[in-house]
Amino acid sequence: MQVPRIAVGGVIIQGEKILMVKRSKSPNKGNWAIPGGKVEYGETVFDALRREMMEETGLNVIPEKLMAVVEIIKEGFHYVILDFICSIKGGELRASSDALDAKFIDLNEIKDECISPTTLDMLKKYYNGEPLPLFITEISK
């Protein structure tokens, strides 16, 4: 029996830019995304977030608040992702083996085909101070 996977994402805003990673693995290889990944069995959500952020970006982060819960369902893929606003505690920004690139990007510079429309809309709304639903679902089969 297949079950949805739980994952975490870390949103860090500096000035007018948001930290993004370019995925190196399927299903979103080559696309920009919020850094993060799967919660491992026995790991707390915050521990998973700190681990994934260090693995993908080289940054030690402090989770500050829940931004949104995003459910993504597509062929062979069902994730429930808890995206948190984070601040940087330390480390040095660098891409890792899970990411082709990691950098702060102006959302207006990202081409629409290089990011999930749901992610882009969510980040733009948050950045612009617009109301954001706590739960967001993206289904494409």
pLDDT digits (tens, 9 = 90+) for 12-51: 999 889 999 998 887 678 888 899 999 999 999 999 999 9
Q: Which CATH number is 49's domain given?
A: 3.90.79.10
Q: Smallest Cα–Cα separation from 104: which of 14, 29, 25, 22?
A: 14
The residue with greater pLDDT, 104 or 127, is 104
Query: What domain range includes position 26?
Result: 5-140
Q: How many domains is the chain partitioned into structurally?
A: 1
pLDDT digits (tens, 9 = 90+) for 43-89: 999 999 999 999 999 999 999 999 999 999 988 889 999 999 999 99
Q: What is the pTM of this model?
A: 0.90
Burial class (CB in 10 A: 0-12, 13-18, 19+), 16: exposed
Residue for token pair 């954001």: 132
